[in-house]
Each structure stands twice: as structure tokens, then as C-alpha cells.
A and B are shown apart, each in its own frame.
Chain A
Amino acid sequence: MSTSEAATTTVGDTRSPTRVGLTWFWDVPEFRRAMGLILVLGLSGFLLLPLATLLLWAFADEWRYPSLVPQSFSLRWWEWVFTNGDVGSAVRYSFMTAPVVTVIAAIICVPAAYSFSRFRFPGRRALFISLLAANAFPKIGLYVAIATLFYRLNLMGTFWGVVLIQLVGTLVAMVWIPAAGFDSVARELEDAARDAGAGALRVFWSITLPLAMPAIIVASFLAFLAAFDEAQGTLVVGSPTIVTMPVLMYTLVVNYPEPVGAIFSILLSAPSVILLLIARRSLLAGYLAAGFKGR
């Protein structure tokens, strides 16, 4: 890839004895511009061309090698996707499970976040870190291990089994980000309200919670996306009864022509594109805090 080529070239060139500054060639404007341009072009190609291919396929009717663009365009596969019963049921299951997971995660985790932020109790630090255990196991191994437990509890192939497996990927974000939100609420404001005669609950509802709300909303977005995009665990636990949109994607990709998978991809990424665009800045910070998104 040109990005790594760019790296080796720059590293090799610095052995020149004429170097000045962090990178001597930074002082040669042409060289600097050329390297930057190669890096940006290589990166754009690597990141964007696969997505552009997918977008074109969604509107293609016929696209044969070695043409760079489809020979003919058509919308007939859109009609197929929108009238297909499996797709309809997958959309329904996706929009049933993901919101339920988000609400449950918020109910369970936001009080924990408040507690981690405000109370001193034994094991506080260790428990806070231990949440990372949710991200420390190789995912597919963990899902199979959970599935063996779910067989015993008769949760395989059930709605609640899917909700629980999707919940795993939301815990860290749903505790760490709201905890940071509660941390950032100035204690002086709460003290002032208390001095003015407000009770503990009143202070929480009218001062603390509203100020921490942006963090809670960002965490909820991330939790919703983690649940909505979760494919592997839902495949292991839910199928064949509960097939959500990402799980259906496995079948569509294998059994149908390219436009079907491409159109479905656009539908499936719509929620993440919309939510991430709404809250891009705060989501970036949240994304970091969450450690990583589920794979």
C-alpha cells in the first residue's frame, strides 16, 4: 500500500547527513507536498474505493469486467429488497432488539456510572476496570461460551437470548461515558442547590442529570449501534429463529446477486451514518473511552 511505502521512503531518506529539524525534507516544500499527496491519495483509494464499488453496485443492472462502471443501471433490485419477506422480518427484529438492548443497558449501567463517579466503596477502582473483561475475550469464543450457557437456560433462538448477547457489547460504553459525564458536573452547582434547600433527589433530577445528559445520550447512541450492528453473537444465539439485518446479510451475500447485498448494505449502514453525523464530535471521544467497537 502506498501509505506504508510512503513511511519507509521517508524513514530511509532521513539518514542523509544534511538533515535539519524533525524531518529535513519537511523543509523542501515540493517533496513535502508530493509525499503528503501520495499518502492522501493512497489512503483515499484504500478506504473509499471499496465503498464506492458497493454504492455503484446498488444501482447497477449489469456490470461486467473489465468495465470501470456498470454497463447499465436499474432500480429493480431495490424493489426486490423492499418487497422481500425475509428482509422485512429482519428489519423488524433489528428494530425490536436494538432499542430494547439500549434501554436495558441504560437502566442497568447509568446508576452504576453515577455510583462510580460519586460514591466511595471497596473495590471501586477494580470493578470499574473489570468492565474491560467484556472486551478482553476474543469475541467469537466468548459468544460460543455464552451459547453453551444459553442452551441450558433455554434462551437459544429466543428474543431475550439475542437481547442478552447484544447487551455484552454495550456495557463498557454505557458505564464509562456516563461516568465521565457525571464527573464533569461541577460539585459547586450541586452544593449551591443543596444550600438553597433542595433535597438530594431534587438536586439529582434538576442539576446533575440534565448536565450529564449529553454523555448519556452519546453512550446510548454507541450502545444502540453496537447492538444494531452485532452480527456474530446474534448468528450463534438467534438463528434460525431470530435473524436480524446484519445476520441476514451473511445469507444475502452468499445467495443473491451483488446489487442485493449492496442495497442492503446501504440500508444497514444508514442508522450509524445518521447517528454518527448527529453527534460526531462527542461520539469520537466516547468511542475512545469505550475502548473499541464490537467486531
Chain B
Amino acid sequence: MPSQAARAELWREAVVGLLMVAPTIAVLVVLIIVPAIQATTFSLGLVPSDNLTFSTGQHLVNSDTPTLDVYRDLLASSFIRDDLSMTLWITLVSVVLVATVSYVLALYVRFGAGPLPRIVRSLYLIPMFVPVVIAAYAAITFYVDRGVLAALLHAVGIPYVSPAYKPGGVVLTQVWFNIPFAVLMLGSGLDGIEQELIESANDVGAGFLTVLWRIVLPMNLVPLLIVLTFTFIGVIGSFTIPFLIGPNAPQMMGVAIQAYFSNYNQPQPAVGMAVLLFAIAAVAGAVYVWATSRSNRHVVSA
């Protein structure tokens, strides 16, 4: 039983501690939790009457009880269905490419010898120095029809089909932009794998694939899942890259949301699409949480 004084001290610590984190948590609640909840209720047809921007928006579903009409209308539109499916495709392809390319680079930097891996170590960080608007613009000037890549390929006689203003341009730029974080993350996991472990596996006859599949991947699972989840959320909610280098129709959801909100005066469909993205991202996040807790259990029971 702690003494009176010690208990008072614990109380004081808890109160002071909570007071000091309160402002940060308040910002989090006001700028993220409250808007997310309001967006959800608004997209369910509950329109706050005191909000003129909402109640005068076009394509308004106004109801006293929650309704899925906004989502029904969204998914009934073939334009938005096309936008959504292209967004999902671009996101999945980008996530797979980012993870694959970054894994190769991380393995090379970790296990490669000589001066080349050192060069890669500085190279892959470069996109980190570049704001996303510029990354997208640089990609346009390089990949555009009759641009520099076209001229390079023309010089060696290879025909060129530009990916700019097509889904391929978005994917290439997303891979470019996401490489530094992914390689850093995966590399931090690989650093924890001891060389001796791999050498002893080799001694008992395990080949490259076996070592990768049975030792490296399982030991590096959590960083990989973090990369997959964060890249997924980042790409699916991206605006700048698809806005500058993506196609006009269909367009990615991020571009559509901004246009419906700022240009078409349709805040409710825009917010509805945003909540759809939240839901999809939440599924990705849940898979990540489930997988990490599962892998942690494995470690504990092993």
C-alpha cells in the first residue's frame, strides 16, 4: 500500500502529465476527429441547417434520419464508378511497385558489397528533398510526349508512347516520390537481421529464395506492412500528382473530390467520396493492425 504522500505524488504526476498533452490532443480532436465525424454525418444526409455552404450546395440530400442516398447516387454515376475503379487500380499497382522496387534497393544496400551500394544509399534519398508539386512537374517535363525521354529514345531509335496524362504517369511519379520512405523503413528492419543467421542458413543449403521467404521476409514483416499501408493511404488520398500528371477522365478520387468541393459547389458528394476513401483506408489500416498484432504473438510464442 503506497503511503499518502506517494499517492498524492502519483495523482499530481497524472494531472500535470495530462494537462501538458491536452493542447496537442485538443488540436487532434478539433482538426481531425470532429471533421471526420461531421463529414460522415453530413454524407449520411444530416445537413446542419446553420451551415449555409452545406444547405445551399448542389445535389443535396437532406434528411432527418441517416440515409445512404448520397452513396447510392455516387455509385449510380458511371463517372464516379470509373474514377473509383481507376483510383483503386493506380493505388494497388503503385503499392506493389513501390514495395518491390524498395525491397530490391533495401536488400542491395544491406547485403551488397563494394562502392555501388554506397551510391544507391545516397541516390534513393533524393526524392525526399523534393516537394511533391515539383516531383509531379519534373515528371511531366520528362515523360511528356515529345519531351526529354521521347528525345532520348528517339536518338536510339526506340518508339515512345508517353505515360503522361495517363494512369501510368501517376504510377511512375508515385513510385518516384515514395521510394525514400519505403527504403528507409524496410532498411531499418533489414539492419536487425544478423549476417550470421543468413550464413548459417546457407550452410545448411538454403538458397536465395528460401532465405528471402523463410528468414528475411518474416523477420522484416512489420516494416513491410507499414510501407504497404502508408503507401496505400498516401496514394489513394493523393491530389497533387494525379492533378498534374494524371488523366482528366476518368480522374483519381482526390482530384474529383477537390473539383466537386471547390469548383462544382457540391460539398455533399465531395464529402461522401472522402468518407468512402476513409472507409477503404480504414480497411487497409485494420489489415495492418491485425497483421502486426498477429506477428507480435508469433514472436512471443516462438
B31 contacts A53, C-beta separation under 8 Å: no
The stretch of A126-134, A184-192, A205-213 that contacts the partner chain: A126-134
* B residues contacting the other copy or chain, number (CB 8 A): 115
What chain B residues lie within 8 Å of A287 (beta carbons)?
A: 128, 180-181, 184
A51 contacts B126, C-beta separation under 8 Å: yes
What chain A residues lie within 8 Å of B32 (beta carbons)?
A: 133-134, 137, 142, 146, 168
0/1 string, B96-112, CB within 8 A of A gives 1: 01001101110010011
| Cα A21 to Cα B205 with chains together (Å) | 8
B261 contacts A7, C-beta separation under 8 Å: no
A124 contacts B237, C-beta separation under 8 Å: no
Contact of B134 among A65, A249, A284, A292 (CB under 8 A): A249
What chain A residues lie within 8 Å of B117 (beta carbons)?
A: 36
Assess A140 versus B239: contact at CB under 8 Å? Given A1-B101, A131-B24, A253-B140: yes
Residue A148 interfacial (CB < 8 Å): yes
B230 contacts A135, C-beta separation under 8 Å: yes
What chain B residues lie within 8 Å of A67 (beta carbons)?
A: 151
Within 8 A of A (CB), among B35-88: 35-36, 38-39, 42, 48, 50-54
Q: Nearest Cβ distance between residue B73 and chain A, in whole angstroms?
A: 17
B271 contacts A148, C-beta separation under 8 Å: yes
A140 contacts B53, C-beta separation under 8 Å: no
What chain B residues lie within 8 Å of A39 (beta carbons)?
A: 104-105, 108, 116, 120
B271 contacts A137, C-beta separation under 8 Å: no
A292 contacts B244, C-beta separation under 8 Å: no
Interface SS of B by simple majority? helix
Residue B249 interfacial (CB < 8 Å): no
Assess A258 versus B141: contact at CB under 8 Å? Given A4-B97, A20-B202, A134-B28: yes
Residue A47 interfacial (CB < 8 Å): yes
What chain A residues lie within 8 Å of B277 (beta carbons)?
A: 138, 140-141
Q: Which residue of B lies closest to A134 (CB)?
A: B32
Within 8 A of B (CB), among A211-266: 228-229, 231-232, 235-236, 239, 246, 249-250, 253, 258, 261-262, 265
Task: Enumerate 27 A-B pairs (CB-CB under 8 Å) in ascending A order.
Answer: A6-B104, A22-B199, A46-B176, A47-B176, A53-B142, A65-B154, A67-B151, A68-B148, A119-B13, A119-B16, A137-B278, A138-B281, A140-B258, A141-B254, A141-B275, A142-B36, A149-B35, A151-B52, A168-B32, A171-B28, A231-B240, A232-B258, A272-B129, A284-B125, A288-B185, A295-B132, A295-B177
Q: A22-B111, A50-B141, A167-B31 are in contact. List 15 more A-B contacts (CB 8 A).
A: A4-B104, A7-B103, A54-B141, A121-B18, A131-B24, A131-B28, A136-B281, A138-B233, A142-B237, A144-B257, A145-B36, A228-B131, A249-B134, A261-B137, A272-B131
Residue ranges of A at the interface with B (Cβ–Cβ < 8 Å): 1, 3-4, 6-7, 10-11, 14-15, 19-24, 33, 36-37, 39-40, 43-44, 46-51, 53-54, 57, 65-68, 108-109, 111-112, 114-116, 118-122, 124, 127, 130-131, 133-142, 144-149, 151-152, 164-165, 167-168, 171, 175, 228-229, 231-232, 235-236, 239, 246, 249-250, 253, 258, 261-262, 265, 268-269, 272-273, 276, 284, 287-288, 291-293, 295
